Structure 1
Amino acid sequence: MHTPTGSPRQVLIFDADDTLWENNILFERVIDAYLDWVARPTLDRTRVRSLLDEVEAANALTHGYGSKVFVRSLGETLERLNARPATDAELRHIDELAVVLLRNRVELVPGVVETLTTLGARHDLMLLTKGDTEEQQRKIDASALAHHFRSTHIVPEKGVDAYLDLTRAHDLVPATTWMIGNSPKSDILPARGAGLGAVFIPNAHTWVLEQSELDPLDDRVLTLTAFPELLKHF
């Protein structure tokens, strides 16, 4: 089922956040600082995190993804914890905690540049990421990776329809097209639902809301441990 090096040209579609560069670890650092800030003897840290996850899940459905929605979720979680509106001072402090998310630089996953360079000589590469358009484009620009891809795409959500739309728009052949990413929910399962192959590269810091169970018997899902391992299969 796997495509060995030297085989016919394939289309490889890459996720961005936590596949090409580290992303969620930055949010986790902000959350740790936030949990320290709201800590009190009568408040269990695990319960606060669970509440934040619940608020984030609801806001993702209504408002999408990105640092602005994340900051909104931090504020709403604080209001639910305190049973009152957040003060201007509290909201300013949340903004200060999250300022790191707005910096114009990204930390590439080890081996990404070398791997994309080699794969680009063998196959056709595309980029598909979800979230706030301006924010995702900023990260793409900061990564300096755009020239590796024949096209880049930013969508509000990566469900089956997003993959079907991409397949139709670019006349992709599902049998020779692979989605590569770290998220079971957004990269692997919907790509398989659209008939594409999928390569799962787990990231230890993947957002909890992107986790989902994969079918261990699905022979069109290839699981790797590191990004450069792609060169052994494509």
Structure 2
Amino acid sequence: MFDTIAFDADDTLWHNEVIFQDTQKLFYQMLQPYADEETIHQNLSKVEMSNVRLFGYGITGFTLSMIETALEISAGQIPQTKIQYIIDCGKQMLEAPLELLPDVKSTLEQLVDSYNLMLISKGDLMHQMNKVELSGLADLFSIIEIVAEKNKYTYQKIVHKHKLTASSLLMVGNSMKSDILPILEIGGSAVYIPYHVTSHVEMIAHENTPSDRFWELESLKDLPQLLSKITQVASY
């Protein structure tokens, strides 16, 4: 039924959002003299959403958004040392060790002989490519695409570029907004594997997903079994 299985990277193959969450906690603590945590959170979310169109997704844009938020919350009174602290936090995020989610490598190894595996990730190009290399998974993918945004137009371009058909493409990811709904919109199929933390920039209401092209799993290790069932049903 599927020729190509595409995988999201961050929070589908390896941990990512927890690094952002941990840094935000430090950021809130630093700004406690100026505002309460909820006020800081709301301001940071607003600034980050506004800056996505300029800086894209990733740690660099997030760090700049923290600096801008700190200046706004403190009315420009925040000391230079605190700005340097934010910059250092951003650098630590970029240098954080990469940790694969459970059963990722073994699951991909089960699939690589039967399917064309693709990686589609968004964010800072250099950082994303570094993570792909650190993961030890690069050789399992025949196609690796790092994109600025994930929407139906991005997926249409990828399908066209690699001479695929949407109906033969299965996307696996943790974000309904970026990984699931756009693929379904262009006629592809999708497997949703929720991560325990979701970035506010990825939250979106969803309903009426097509039951014959959409599945939800608790873990990536369940994917081979699901594919076997789908194949059996399709063969009848």
TM-score (norm 2): 0.91
Mean CA deviation greater in 90-99 or 121-130: 90-99
How far apart in 1 are the matches of 2:209 and 2:191?
Answer: 14
**Is it true that 1:97 corresponds to 2:89 in the alignment?**
yes
Alignment partner, residue 192 of structure 2: 200
- 1:100 is displaced (CA, Å) by 2.5
* Aligned AA (1:15): D
Q: Which among 106, 110, 122 is matched to residue 118 of structure 1? A: 110
Decide whether aligned partners of structure 1 residues 196 and 85 sit closer, same or farther in structure 2, where only a CA change above 3 A counts: farther
Q: Does 1:184 align with 2:176?
A: yes
Structure 2 distance, partners of 1:217, 1:198, is 10
Fraction of identical pairs, as percent: 31
Q: How many Å apart are 1:95 and its aligned residue?
A: 1.7
Structure 1 unaligned runs (5+)? 1-7
Counterpart position of 1:143: 135
Displacement of 1:86 in angstroms is 4.9
| Cα-to-partner distance string for 1:109-145 (whole Å, 9 max, x where unaligned) | 1000000000112211000011111111111111111
Distance 1:131 1:85, change over 3 A: farther
8 Å contact from structure 1 (residues 131, 156) kept in 2: yes
Q: In structure 2, what residue type is equivalent to 1:25?
A: V
Could you tell me which runs of 5 or more consecutive residues in structure 2 were left unpaired when the two chains were aligned.
228-236
Query: Hey, what does 2:74 align to over in structure 1?
Result: 82
Greater length-normalized contact order (CA 8 Å, ≥ 6 residues apart): 1
Following superposition, the deviation at residue 36 of structure 1 comes to 1.0
Which of 62, 68, 72 aligns to 2:54? It is 62
Q: Distance in 2 between matches of 1:211 and 1:128?
A: 19
SS at match of 2:112: helix
Give the secondary-structure state (helix, strand or coil) at the position aligned to 1:153: strand
Counterpart amino acid of residue 20 in structure 2: F
Aligned residues, how many?
A: 226
| TM-score, normalised with respect to structure 1 | 0.92
Q: Report if the CA contact (8 A) 2:2-2:170 is conserved.
A: no
Contact 1:75 1:86 in 2 (8 A): no
